A and B are shown apart, each in its own frame.
Chain A
Amino acid sequence: MTEATNVSADPIARDWWAGIAEGRIGYEACTDCGAAQFYPRGHCTACGSAKVAMRTAAGTGTIFSITVVHRPPSAALQPFAPYAIALVDLDEGVRMMAHADPSLAIGARVRATVAPFGDRAVPRFVAAA
Protein backbone atom coordinates (compact mmCIF):
# COMPACT_ATOMS: atom_id res chain seq x y z
CA MET A 1 0.00 0.00 0.00
CA THR A 2 1.28 3.47 -0.93
CA GLU A 3 1.95 5.84 1.96
CA ALA A 4 -0.97 8.21 2.38
CA THR A 5 1.44 11.16 2.24
CA ASN A 6 2.15 10.31 -1.41
CA VAL A 7 -1.42 10.33 -2.61
CA SER A 8 -1.74 13.97 -3.68
CA ALA A 9 0.32 16.99 -4.67
CA ASP A 10 -1.96 19.13 -2.48
CA PRO A 11 -0.51 19.46 1.05
CA ILE A 12 -3.99 19.88 2.58
CA ALA A 13 -5.14 16.64 0.95
CA ARG A 14 -1.93 14.86 1.98
CA ASP A 15 -2.53 15.85 5.60
CA TRP A 16 -6.18 14.83 5.37
CA TRP A 17 -5.34 11.34 4.09
CA ALA A 18 -2.57 11.00 6.70
CA GLY A 19 -5.29 11.69 9.27
CA ILE A 20 -7.51 8.98 7.76
CA ALA A 21 -4.65 6.47 8.06
CA GLU A 22 -4.71 7.30 11.79
CA GLY A 23 -8.52 7.08 12.02
CA ARG A 24 -9.25 10.83 12.01
CA ILE A 25 -11.76 12.42 9.61
CA GLY A 26 -10.85 16.08 9.17
CA TYR A 27 -13.10 18.94 8.15
CA GLU A 28 -12.56 22.68 8.10
CA ALA A 29 -14.19 25.30 10.30
CA CYS A 30 -13.89 29.04 9.68
CA THR A 31 -12.51 30.89 12.70
CA ASP A 32 -14.14 34.13 11.48
CA CYS A 33 -17.73 33.12 10.57
CA GLY A 34 -17.88 29.65 12.12
CA ALA A 35 -18.98 27.86 8.93
CA ALA A 36 -18.00 24.20 8.60
CA GLN A 37 -16.99 22.91 5.17
CA PHE A 38 -15.90 19.82 3.30
CA TYR A 39 -13.69 19.28 1.34
CA PRO A 40 -10.89 21.26 3.00
CA ARG A 41 -9.65 24.18 0.89
CA GLY A 42 -7.55 26.42 3.13
CA HIS A 43 -10.08 29.28 2.89
CA CYS A 44 -13.75 29.73 3.76
CA THR A 45 -16.29 29.51 0.92
CA ALA A 46 -19.00 31.09 3.10
CA CYS A 47 -17.25 34.38 3.97
CA GLY A 48 -13.99 34.31 2.03
CA SER A 49 -11.80 34.32 5.12
CA ALA A 50 -8.36 32.68 4.95
CA LYS A 51 -8.64 31.75 8.62
CA VAL A 52 -9.84 28.16 8.66
CA ALA A 53 -8.85 25.43 11.09
CA MET A 54 -8.85 21.66 10.53
CA ARG A 55 -11.08 19.92 13.05
CA THR A 56 -11.61 16.24 13.69
CA ALA A 57 -15.15 14.96 13.17
CA ALA A 58 -16.75 12.59 15.68
CA GLY A 59 -17.10 10.07 12.83
CA THR A 60 -20.86 9.72 13.17
CA GLY A 61 -23.47 10.68 10.61
CA THR A 62 -26.34 9.70 8.31
CA ILE A 63 -26.35 8.11 4.85
CA PHE A 64 -27.57 10.73 2.33
CA SER A 65 -27.16 8.49 -0.71
CA ILE A 66 -25.48 5.20 -1.58
CA THR A 67 -24.58 3.28 -4.75
CA VAL A 68 -23.12 -0.20 -5.14
CA VAL A 69 -20.38 -0.27 -7.77
CA HIS A 70 -20.17 -3.52 -9.73
CA ARG A 71 -18.01 -2.18 -12.55
CA PRO A 72 -14.81 -0.66 -11.10
CA PRO A 73 -12.68 1.73 -13.16
CA SER A 74 -9.64 -0.57 -13.25
CA ALA A 75 -8.57 -4.21 -13.00
CA ALA A 76 -6.63 -3.32 -9.84
CA LEU A 77 -9.89 -2.51 -8.04
CA GLN A 78 -11.79 -5.56 -9.34
CA PRO A 79 -10.97 -7.68 -6.25
CA PHE A 80 -12.83 -5.12 -4.10
CA ALA A 81 -16.03 -5.19 -6.19
CA PRO A 82 -18.86 -4.88 -5.51
CA TYR A 83 -18.22 -1.98 -3.14
CA ALA A 84 -20.51 0.78 -1.94
CA ILE A 85 -19.81 4.49 -2.31
CA ALA A 86 -21.92 6.76 -0.14
CA LEU A 87 -22.48 10.43 0.55
CA VAL A 88 -22.53 10.77 4.31
CA ASP A 89 -23.85 13.79 6.23
CA LEU A 90 -21.56 14.07 9.23
CA ASP A 91 -23.06 15.29 12.49
CA GLU A 92 -20.83 18.37 12.24
CA GLY A 93 -22.96 19.55 9.29
CA VAL A 94 -20.74 18.66 6.32
CA ARG A 95 -21.21 16.05 3.57
CA MET A 96 -18.43 13.75 2.37
CA MET A 97 -17.99 10.85 -0.02
CA ALA A 98 -16.73 7.60 1.51
CA HIS A 99 -17.06 3.86 1.33
CA ALA A 100 -19.90 2.20 3.19
CA ASP A 101 -21.37 -1.19 4.02
CA PRO A 102 -23.38 -2.06 0.84
CA SER A 103 -26.37 -3.18 2.95
CA LEU A 104 -26.94 0.33 4.34
CA ALA A 105 -29.95 2.36 3.23
CA ILE A 106 -30.51 6.10 2.88
CA GLY A 107 -31.20 7.59 6.30
CA ALA A 108 -29.18 4.97 8.21
CA ARG A 109 -27.18 6.22 11.18
CA VAL A 110 -23.51 5.33 10.68
CA ARG A 111 -20.08 5.50 12.26
CA ALA A 112 -16.71 5.65 10.52
CA THR A 113 -14.15 2.88 10.29
CA VAL A 114 -11.05 2.71 8.11
CA ALA A 115 -10.60 -0.06 5.54
CA PRO A 116 -7.99 -0.84 2.86
CA PHE A 117 -8.97 0.00 -0.72
CA GLY A 118 -6.74 0.35 -3.77
CA ASP A 119 -3.58 2.28 -2.92
CA ARG A 120 -4.60 3.40 0.56
CA ALA A 121 -6.83 3.08 3.60
CA VAL A 122 -10.18 4.83 3.12
CA PRO A 123 -12.98 5.87 5.47
CA ARG A 124 -15.75 3.26 5.43
CA PHE A 125 -19.04 3.81 7.24
CA VAL A 126 -20.92 1.00 8.98
CA ALA A 127 -24.18 0.88 10.96
CA ALA A 128 -23.86 2.94 14.15
CA ALA A 129 -25.68 0.49 16.38
Chain B
Amino acid sequence: MAFISGVGNTRYGKIDGSTTMSLAAAAAQAAMADAGLKPQDIDGLLTGYATTMPHIMLATVIAERLGVQPAYAHALQAGGATGVAMAMLAKILVDGGRCRAVLIVAAENRASGQSRDQAIQTLAQAGHPDYEVPYGATIPAYYGLLAARYMHQFGVTDEDLAELAVVMRRHAGRHPDAHLRTPITAAEVMASKPIALPLRLLDCCPVSDGGIAAIITREPTAAARVRIRGAGQAHLHQHISCARDWAAMGAKASADRAFADAGMRTADIDYLAVYDSFTITLAMLLEEIGFVRRAGAGEAARAGRFDVDGDLPLNTHGGLLSFGHCGVGGGLAHLVETQRQLAGRADGRQVKDATVGFVHGDGGVMSSHVSMVLERV
Protein backbone atom coordinates (compact mmCIF):
# COMPACT_ATOMS: atom_id res chain seq x y z
CA MET B 1 0.00 0.00 0.00
CA ALA B 2 1.04 3.60 -0.56
CA PHE B 3 0.49 6.04 2.30
CA ILE B 4 0.74 9.84 2.21
CA SER B 5 2.68 9.95 5.45
CA GLY B 6 3.70 13.59 5.52
CA VAL B 7 2.86 16.91 3.86
CA GLY B 8 4.24 20.42 4.04
CA ASN B 9 3.94 23.78 2.32
CA THR B 10 5.09 27.36 2.39
CA ARG B 11 2.50 30.10 2.31
CA TYR B 12 1.33 30.97 -1.23
CA GLY B 13 1.38 34.51 -2.59
CA LYS B 14 4.04 37.03 -3.49
CA ILE B 15 7.07 36.13 -1.40
CA ASP B 16 9.83 38.64 -2.13
CA GLY B 17 13.31 37.15 -2.15
CA SER B 18 12.06 33.60 -2.61
CA THR B 19 13.59 31.27 -5.18
CA THR B 20 12.34 27.98 -6.59
CA MET B 21 15.03 26.20 -4.59
CA SER B 22 14.35 27.98 -1.29
CA LEU B 23 10.61 27.26 -1.61
CA ALA B 24 11.23 23.61 -2.57
CA ALA B 25 13.60 23.10 0.35
CA ALA B 26 11.25 24.69 2.89
CA ALA B 27 8.30 22.60 1.72
CA ALA B 28 10.31 19.35 1.55
CA GLN B 29 11.77 19.84 5.02
CA ALA B 30 8.29 20.48 6.43
CA ALA B 31 6.96 17.32 4.76
CA MET B 32 9.87 15.18 6.02
CA ALA B 33 9.36 16.51 9.56
CA ASP B 34 5.63 15.80 9.28
CA ALA B 35 6.37 12.21 8.20
CA GLY B 36 8.98 11.79 10.93
CA LEU B 37 11.66 11.07 8.32
CA LYS B 38 15.19 12.36 7.73
CA PRO B 39 16.88 13.06 4.37
CA GLN B 40 18.64 9.67 4.48
CA ASP B 41 15.25 7.91 4.80
CA ILE B 42 14.11 9.22 1.39
CA ASP B 43 14.92 6.78 -1.45
CA GLY B 44 12.81 8.31 -4.22
CA LEU B 45 12.39 11.93 -5.34
CA LEU B 46 10.01 13.29 -7.97
CA THR B 47 9.48 16.89 -8.95
CA GLY B 48 7.99 18.83 -11.85
CA TYR B 49 9.28 21.91 -13.65
CA ALA B 50 9.63 25.58 -12.82
CA THR B 51 9.20 28.19 -15.56
CA THR B 52 11.47 30.56 -13.62
CA MET B 53 14.18 27.89 -13.30
CA PRO B 54 14.45 25.83 -16.47
CA HIS B 55 16.84 22.96 -15.74
CA ILE B 56 17.63 19.65 -17.39
CA MET B 57 17.60 17.68 -14.11
CA LEU B 58 15.64 19.50 -11.46
CA ALA B 59 15.05 16.42 -9.27
CA THR B 60 18.71 15.88 -8.47
CA VAL B 61 19.24 19.61 -7.90
CA ILE B 62 16.59 19.42 -5.20
CA ALA B 63 17.94 16.11 -3.85
CA GLU B 64 21.42 17.57 -3.43
CA ARG B 65 20.07 20.72 -1.81
CA LEU B 66 18.22 18.57 0.74
CA GLY B 67 20.97 16.02 1.33
CA VAL B 68 18.86 13.24 -0.19
CA GLN B 69 20.55 10.48 -2.27
CA PRO B 70 17.62 8.70 -3.90
CA ALA B 71 17.65 5.33 -5.67
CA TYR B 72 15.10 6.77 -8.11
CA ALA B 73 14.72 10.44 -9.15
CA HIS B 74 13.59 12.55 -12.08
CA ALA B 75 11.24 15.32 -13.07
CA LEU B 76 7.81 14.95 -14.71
CA GLN B 77 5.87 17.30 -16.95
CA ALA B 78 2.10 17.14 -17.39
CA GLY B 79 1.24 20.81 -16.90
CA GLY B 80 -1.26 21.37 -14.12
CA ALA B 81 -1.73 17.61 -13.76
CA THR B 82 1.93 17.12 -12.83
CA GLY B 83 1.34 17.16 -9.06
CA VAL B 84 -1.18 14.33 -9.14
CA ALA B 85 0.96 12.50 -11.73
CA MET B 86 3.92 12.63 -9.34
CA ALA B 87 1.78 11.08 -6.60
CA MET B 88 0.60 8.38 -9.02
CA LEU B 89 4.16 7.48 -10.00
CA ALA B 90 5.21 7.52 -6.34
CA LYS B 91 2.45 4.99 -5.63
CA ILE B 92 3.69 2.81 -8.52
CA LEU B 93 7.27 2.97 -7.19
CA VAL B 94 6.21 2.15 -3.64
CA ASP B 95 3.74 -0.60 -4.62
CA GLY B 96 6.33 -2.14 -6.95
CA GLY B 97 8.85 -2.41 -4.16
CA ARG B 98 11.39 -0.10 -5.77
CA CYS B 99 11.14 2.61 -3.10
CA ARG B 100 10.15 2.83 0.57
CA ALA B 101 9.73 6.62 0.86
CA VAL B 102 9.26 8.91 -2.13
CA LEU B 103 9.41 12.70 -1.73
CA ILE B 104 7.24 14.57 -4.22
CA VAL B 105 7.92 18.29 -4.24
CA ALA B 106 6.89 21.26 -6.37
CA ALA B 107 7.89 24.88 -6.02
CA GLU B 108 8.29 28.04 -8.06
CA ASN B 109 8.73 31.76 -7.49
CA ARG B 110 6.33 32.27 -10.39
CA ALA B 111 5.02 35.63 -9.12
CA SER B 112 8.18 37.38 -7.95
CA GLY B 113 10.73 35.64 -10.20
CA GLN B 114 9.57 37.16 -13.49
CA SER B 115 7.40 39.90 -14.98
CA ARG B 116 3.67 39.38 -15.51
CA ASP B 117 4.18 39.47 -19.29
CA GLN B 118 6.90 36.80 -19.05
CA ALA B 119 4.60 34.54 -17.06
CA ILE B 120 1.75 34.99 -19.54
CA GLN B 121 3.97 34.38 -22.57
CA THR B 122 5.65 31.30 -21.10
CA LEU B 123 2.33 29.70 -20.20
CA ALA B 124 0.80 30.56 -23.59
CA GLN B 125 3.32 28.10 -25.11
CA ALA B 126 0.99 25.31 -24.01
CA GLY B 127 -0.72 26.30 -27.26
CA HIS B 128 0.57 25.36 -30.70
CA PRO B 129 3.60 27.51 -31.62
CA ASP B 130 2.65 27.76 -35.31
CA TYR B 131 -1.16 27.55 -35.37
CA GLU B 132 -2.32 29.09 -32.04
CA VAL B 133 0.31 31.25 -30.31
CA PRO B 134 0.73 33.65 -33.30
CA TYR B 135 -2.84 34.88 -32.81
CA GLY B 136 -1.88 36.52 -29.51
CA ALA B 137 -3.38 33.61 -27.60
CA THR B 138 -2.92 33.22 -23.86
CA ILE B 139 -3.96 30.55 -21.38
CA PRO B 140 -7.01 32.67 -20.45
CA ALA B 141 -7.85 32.89 -24.18
CA TYR B 142 -7.75 29.10 -24.60
CA TYR B 143 -10.01 28.76 -21.56
CA GLY B 144 -12.14 31.65 -22.82
CA LEU B 145 -12.80 29.55 -25.92
CA LEU B 146 -13.68 26.60 -23.68
CA ALA B 147 -16.01 28.78 -21.61
CA ALA B 148 -17.84 30.36 -24.56
CA ARG B 149 -18.55 27.02 -26.21
CA TYR B 150 -19.38 25.11 -23.04
CA MET B 151 -21.74 27.84 -21.82
CA HIS B 152 -23.42 27.91 -25.24
CA GLN B 153 -23.70 24.12 -25.45
CA PHE B 154 -25.01 23.41 -21.95
CA GLY B 155 -26.62 26.69 -20.84
CA VAL B 156 -24.08 27.67 -18.15
CA THR B 157 -24.35 31.35 -17.12
CA ASP B 158 -21.77 33.94 -16.05
CA GLU B 159 -23.33 33.83 -12.59
CA ASP B 160 -22.92 30.04 -12.40
CA LEU B 161 -19.19 30.48 -12.96
CA ALA B 162 -18.95 33.43 -10.55
CA GLU B 163 -20.45 31.34 -7.72
CA LEU B 164 -17.48 28.96 -7.95
CA ALA B 165 -15.00 31.81 -7.49
CA VAL B 166 -16.98 32.98 -4.46
CA VAL B 167 -16.81 29.56 -2.78
CA MET B 168 -13.08 29.19 -3.41
CA ARG B 169 -12.45 32.62 -1.87
CA ARG B 170 -14.58 31.80 1.16
CA HIS B 171 -12.57 28.60 1.71
CA ALA B 172 -9.24 30.42 1.34
CA GLY B 173 -10.29 32.79 4.13
CA ARG B 174 -9.99 29.83 6.51
CA HIS B 175 -6.48 28.83 5.41
CA PRO B 176 -3.65 30.94 6.84
CA ASP B 177 -1.32 30.14 3.91
CA ALA B 178 -3.70 31.16 1.08
CA HIS B 179 -2.78 33.88 -1.42
CA LEU B 180 -6.20 35.61 -1.71
CA ARG B 181 -8.36 35.68 1.43
CA THR B 182 -10.63 38.73 1.12
CA PRO B 183 -14.24 37.60 0.51
CA ILE B 184 -15.81 38.39 -2.89
CA THR B 185 -19.37 38.36 -4.22
CA ALA B 186 -20.72 36.98 -7.50
CA ALA B 187 -21.52 40.55 -8.54
CA GLU B 188 -17.88 41.53 -8.02
CA VAL B 189 -16.69 38.58 -10.10
CA MET B 190 -19.04 39.53 -12.95
CA ALA B 191 -17.97 43.20 -12.75
CA SER B 192 -14.23 42.50 -12.66
CA LYS B 193 -12.17 43.56 -15.65
CA PRO B 194 -12.40 41.52 -18.83
CA ILE B 195 -9.43 39.24 -19.56
CA ALA B 196 -10.56 36.84 -22.31
CA LEU B 197 -14.33 37.12 -22.43
CA PRO B 198 -16.44 35.48 -21.16
CA LEU B 199 -13.68 35.10 -18.52
CA ARG B 200 -12.97 38.07 -16.25
CA LEU B 201 -10.17 38.68 -13.77
CA LEU B 202 -11.88 36.95 -10.85
CA ASP B 203 -12.65 33.92 -13.03
CA CYS B 204 -8.86 33.44 -13.27
CA CYS B 205 -6.44 32.09 -10.67
CA PRO B 206 -3.63 34.38 -9.50
CA VAL B 207 0.06 33.85 -10.24
CA SER B 208 1.74 32.93 -6.94
CA ASP B 209 5.03 31.99 -5.34
CA GLY B 210 4.93 28.83 -3.28
CA GLY B 211 6.32 25.42 -2.46
CA ILE B 212 4.60 22.21 -1.41
CA ALA B 213 5.59 18.59 -0.81
CA ALA B 214 4.35 15.19 0.28
CA ILE B 215 6.00 11.91 1.25
CA ILE B 216 4.58 8.66 -0.12
CA THR B 217 5.66 5.62 1.89
CA ARG B 218 5.14 1.85 1.80
CA GLU B 219 4.35 1.75 5.53
CA PRO B 220 2.79 4.50 7.64
CA THR B 221 5.52 6.54 9.37
CA ALA B 222 3.36 8.98 11.32
CA ALA B 223 -0.06 9.28 12.90
CA ALA B 224 -1.78 10.11 9.58
CA ARG B 225 -3.24 6.99 7.94
CA VAL B 226 -4.21 8.13 4.45
CA ARG B 227 -3.52 5.84 1.54
CA ILE B 228 -3.70 6.18 -2.22
CA ARG B 229 -6.36 3.65 -3.16
CA GLY B 230 -6.35 4.08 -6.94
CA ALA B 231 -5.34 6.35 -9.80
CA GLY B 232 -5.88 6.85 -13.52
CA GLN B 233 -5.03 9.14 -16.43
CA ALA B 234 -6.31 10.23 -19.84
CA HIS B 235 -4.66 12.36 -22.53
CA LEU B 236 -6.86 12.98 -25.57
CA HIS B 237 -5.23 16.06 -27.15
CA GLN B 238 -2.70 18.78 -26.43
CA HIS B 239 -4.11 21.81 -28.24
CA ILE B 240 -7.65 23.08 -27.82
CA SER B 241 -7.98 23.31 -31.62
CA CYS B 242 -7.61 19.52 -31.70
CA ALA B 243 -10.09 18.58 -28.94
CA ARG B 244 -12.78 16.54 -30.70
CA ASP B 245 -15.60 15.87 -28.22
CA TRP B 246 -16.14 18.84 -25.93
CA ALA B 247 -18.47 16.83 -23.69
CA ALA B 248 -15.70 14.25 -23.13
CA MET B 249 -12.36 16.00 -22.76
CA GLY B 250 -10.73 13.11 -20.88
CA ALA B 251 -11.74 14.03 -17.32
CA LYS B 252 -14.32 11.27 -17.05
CA ALA B 253 -12.10 8.74 -18.80
CA SER B 254 -9.35 9.50 -16.29
CA ALA B 255 -11.70 9.47 -13.29
CA ASP B 256 -13.30 6.20 -14.41
CA ARG B 257 -9.86 4.56 -14.54
CA ALA B 258 -9.10 5.84 -11.04
CA PHE B 259 -12.45 4.60 -9.71
CA ALA B 260 -11.94 1.19 -11.34
CA ASP B 261 -8.42 1.01 -9.90
CA ALA B 262 -9.82 1.87 -6.46
CA GLY B 263 -12.91 -0.33 -6.76
CA MET B 264 -15.09 2.69 -5.99
CA ARG B 265 -17.53 5.08 -7.63
CA THR B 266 -18.51 8.75 -7.40
CA ALA B 267 -21.12 8.04 -4.71
CA ASP B 268 -18.37 6.78 -2.37
CA ILE B 269 -16.56 10.14 -2.38
CA ASP B 270 -17.04 12.49 0.56
CA TYR B 271 -14.28 15.03 -0.17
CA LEU B 272 -13.50 16.63 -3.55
CA ALA B 273 -10.27 18.26 -4.76
CA VAL B 274 -10.68 19.32 -8.38
CA TYR B 275 -8.40 21.48 -10.52
CA ASP B 276 -9.67 25.03 -10.82
CA SER B 277 -7.32 27.21 -12.86
CA PHE B 278 -10.40 29.11 -14.02
CA THR B 279 -14.03 28.95 -12.92
CA ILE B 280 -14.89 27.23 -16.21
CA THR B 281 -12.22 24.57 -15.54
CA LEU B 282 -13.88 23.63 -12.27
CA ALA B 283 -17.38 23.62 -13.77
CA MET B 284 -16.40 21.45 -16.73
CA LEU B 285 -14.45 18.93 -14.63
CA LEU B 286 -17.15 18.53 -11.95
CA GLU B 287 -19.85 18.16 -14.58
CA GLU B 288 -18.02 15.87 -16.99
CA ILE B 289 -16.87 13.52 -14.22
CA GLY B 290 -20.45 13.50 -12.96
CA PHE B 291 -20.31 14.89 -9.41
CA VAL B 292 -23.03 17.35 -10.48
CA ARG B 293 -25.34 17.48 -13.50
CA ARG B 294 -24.40 19.35 -16.69
CA ALA B 295 -24.63 23.09 -16.04
CA GLY B 296 -25.21 22.21 -12.38
CA ALA B 297 -21.95 23.38 -10.74
CA GLY B 298 -23.22 26.92 -10.17
CA GLU B 299 -26.47 25.83 -8.54
CA ALA B 300 -24.55 23.35 -6.35
CA ALA B 301 -22.28 26.19 -5.21
CA ARG B 302 -25.28 28.44 -4.50
CA ALA B 303 -26.91 25.65 -2.48
CA GLY B 304 -23.82 25.29 -0.30
CA ARG B 305 -23.02 21.78 -1.45
CA PHE B 306 -19.28 22.63 -1.85
CA ASP B 307 -19.01 24.19 1.62
CA VAL B 308 -17.12 22.60 4.50
CA ASP B 309 -20.46 21.36 5.89
CA GLY B 310 -21.97 20.57 2.47
CA ASP B 311 -22.42 17.10 0.99
CA LEU B 312 -19.63 17.66 -1.58
CA PRO B 313 -16.96 19.70 0.25
CA LEU B 314 -14.63 20.99 -2.47
CA ASN B 315 -11.11 22.48 -2.43
CA THR B 316 -11.35 23.63 1.18
CA HIS B 317 -7.89 25.26 0.96
CA GLY B 318 -9.28 27.69 -1.63
CA GLY B 319 -8.05 25.96 -4.79
CA LEU B 320 -5.97 27.57 -7.48
CA LEU B 321 -8.52 30.39 -7.65
CA SER B 322 -7.72 31.64 -4.14
CA PHE B 323 -5.10 29.49 -2.36
CA GLY B 324 -2.96 30.33 -5.38
CA HIS B 325 -1.18 28.94 -8.42
CA CYS B 326 2.59 28.59 -8.36
CA GLY B 327 2.71 26.09 -11.25
CA VAL B 328 3.14 22.41 -10.39
CA GLY B 329 2.65 23.24 -6.72
CA GLY B 330 -0.77 24.70 -7.48
CA GLY B 331 -2.19 21.32 -8.48
CA LEU B 332 -0.28 19.44 -5.76
CA ALA B 333 -1.99 21.63 -3.13
CA HIS B 334 -5.28 19.85 -3.87
CA LEU B 335 -3.70 16.51 -2.91
CA VAL B 336 -2.09 17.91 0.23
CA GLU B 337 -5.37 19.44 1.41
CA THR B 338 -7.10 16.10 0.81
CA GLN B 339 -4.52 14.33 2.99
CA ARG B 340 -5.09 16.89 5.74
CA GLN B 341 -8.87 16.54 5.51
CA LEU B 342 -8.83 12.74 5.56
CA ALA B 343 -6.31 12.74 8.42
CA GLY B 344 -8.51 15.10 10.40
CA ARG B 345 -5.84 17.81 10.46
CA ALA B 346 -7.60 20.62 8.57
CA ASP B 347 -8.12 22.76 11.69
CA GLY B 348 -10.84 25.39 11.34
CA ARG B 349 -11.92 24.11 7.93
CA GLN B 350 -12.16 20.42 8.88
CA VAL B 351 -14.87 18.44 7.10
CA LYS B 352 -16.72 16.12 9.48
CA ASP B 353 -16.04 12.43 8.86
CA ALA B 354 -14.19 12.80 5.56
CA THR B 355 -12.93 9.32 4.74
CA VAL B 356 -12.67 8.99 0.94
CA GLY B 357 -11.33 11.81 -1.22
CA PHE B 358 -11.10 12.33 -4.96
CA VAL B 359 -8.31 14.43 -6.51
CA HIS B 360 -8.21 15.56 -10.14
CA GLY B 361 -5.52 17.48 -12.03
CA ASP B 362 -5.85 19.04 -15.50
CA GLY B 363 -2.83 20.04 -17.58
CA GLY B 364 -2.75 22.27 -20.65
CA VAL B 365 -6.22 23.05 -21.97
CA MET B 366 -8.20 20.04 -20.72
CA SER B 367 -5.28 18.11 -22.26
CA SER B 368 -3.74 15.92 -19.54
CA HIS B 369 -5.95 14.44 -16.83
CA VAL B 370 -4.79 12.56 -13.73
CA SER B 371 -7.27 11.35 -11.10
CA MET B 372 -6.75 9.75 -7.73
CA VAL B 373 -8.82 8.24 -4.93
CA LEU B 374 -7.47 8.65 -1.37
CA GLU B 375 -8.80 6.85 1.67
CA ARG B 376 -8.40 7.12 5.43
CA VAL B 377 -7.62 3.67 6.81
Interface residues of chain A, those whose CB is within 8 Å of chain B, are 7-8, 10, 13, 16-17, 38-39, 64-75, 77, 80, 82-83, 85-87, 95-99, 106, 117-120, 122
Q: Does B98 contact A (CB under 8 A)?
A: no
Which chain B residues lie closer than 8 Å to A80 at the CB level? 136
Q: List 6 A-B contacts (CB under 8 A).
A: A69-B136, A73-B117, A73-B136, A85-B137, A87-B149, A87-B241
In the complex, residue of chain B having the shortest beta-carbon distance to the beta carbon of A106 = B152
Which chain B residues lie closer than 8 Å to A95 at the CB level? 241-242
- Are A68 and B194 closer than 8 Å at their CB atoms? yes
- For chain B, the bracket of interface size reads 20 to 34
Could you list 11 further interchain pairs (A-B, Cβ under 8 angstroms) beyond the known A67-B145, A70-B195, A73-B121? A16-B131, A39-B242, A65-B148, A68-B197, A71-B120, A73-B117, A85-B145, A85-B196, A106-B152, A117-B135, A122-B135
In the complex, residue of chain A having the shortest beta-carbon distance to the beta carbon of B137 = A85
In the complex, residue of chain A having the shortest beta-carbon distance to the beta carbon of B122 = A73
- Are A39 and B196 closer than 8 Å at their CB atoms? no
Which chain B residues lie closer than 8 Å to A82 at the CB level? 194
Q: Does B128 contact A (CB under 8 A)?
A: yes
Interface residues of chain B, those whose CB is within 8 Å of chain A, are 117, 120-121, 124, 128-132, 134-138, 140-141, 144-149, 152, 193-199, 240-242
Pairs A-B, 4 closest by C-beta atoms: A67-B144, A65-B149, A13-B130, A70-B194
Q: Which DSSP category, helix, strand, loop or mixed, fits chain B's interface?
A: helix
- Are B136 and A83 closer than 8 Å at their CB atoms? yes
Q: How far is the CA of A82 from the CA of B199 in the complex (A)?
A: 14
Q: How far is the CA of A122 from the CA of B132 in the complex (A)?
A: 11
- Are B136 and A85 closer than 8 Å at their CB atoms? yes
Q: How far is the CA of A85 from the CA of B195 in the complex (A)?
A: 13
Which chain A residues lie closer than 8 Å to B148 at the CB level? 65-67, 106
Return B107 CB to nearest CB of chain A, in Å. 24
- Are A85 and B141 closer than 8 Å at their CB atoms? yes
